[in-house]
Amino acid sequence: MNGRQEGREGGIAGVGGLRRAARGVGIAAVVIGGADLLAIALSVFLALSEGRPGFADVMQIVSGIAFVSLIPAARLASGCGLLRARPWGRTIAIVVFTIDFLLGLANAVIMAVNCHTIRFAPEPLYDALLLRASLQVWPTYLMALVGLLIVAVLSRSGMREALAGGGAGRGAA
């Protein structure tokens, strides 16, 4: 085997490289999903600590938590699956990060459209509002880009096969 083929097997094109890439994506998914769930829990805690909510308020908060927590929980689960080299982790991650990308793109478009309404602001506020709006848009663009990059990494040829063999020999878990 020449050095060129050997380098390809050990590099990102090889199964080991693809598993490392999936592991990196898994770590990112766990961190992002865990941070989102932590932020949701903190928001709920702060909302409930402001007073004694009535039954209707509690039900509204619970239903909101259930809906808002779906994507972060799926992101966390996909990250755990990718860390354990399970094919279902890849499938869930592709779906979740595609949804993340589309939502991020939609939010960025909405925020960009809303920036145009700033031009009707009084002159002293115009620059401050424009700066604030532009700073709010960039994190949305970045998160959409992260979702797109993760989908691109997981959609690489050979990734499915690399993860399909990942669970073998690790014991039942």
Query: How is residue 69 written in tokens?
Result: 């927590």
Helix, strand, or coil (residue 84): coil
Residue 173 confidence (pLDDT) above 80: no
159, 22 in Cβ contact below 8 A? yes
Instruction: For residue 145, count CB atoms less than 10 angstroms from its CB and return exposed for 0-12, middle for 13-18, buried for 19 or more.
Output: middle
Q: How confident is the model at residue 44 (pLDDT cuts 50, 70, 90)?
A: confident
Q: Confirm whether pTM is higher than 0.95.
A: no
For the chain, domain boundaries: 3-164
Query: How is residue 29 written in tokens?
Result: 């998914």
Residues 50, 52, 56, CA angle at the centre, nearest 5°?
A: 110
Q: Write down how long the chain is.
A: 173
* pLDDT computed for residue 76 by the predictor: 93
Unique residue bearing structure tokens 């972060």: 72
Mean pLDDT within 113-121: 65
- Angstrom distances, CA of residue 124 to CA of 76, 109, 119, 133: 45, 26, 11, 15
Helical residues (DSSP H) of 50-86, grouped into ranges: 55-68, 70-83
* pLDDT computed for residue 166 by the predictor: 55
* pLDDT computed for residue 143 by the predictor: 80
| 68-99 tens-digit pLDDT | 888 899 999 999 999 998 889 999 999 999 99
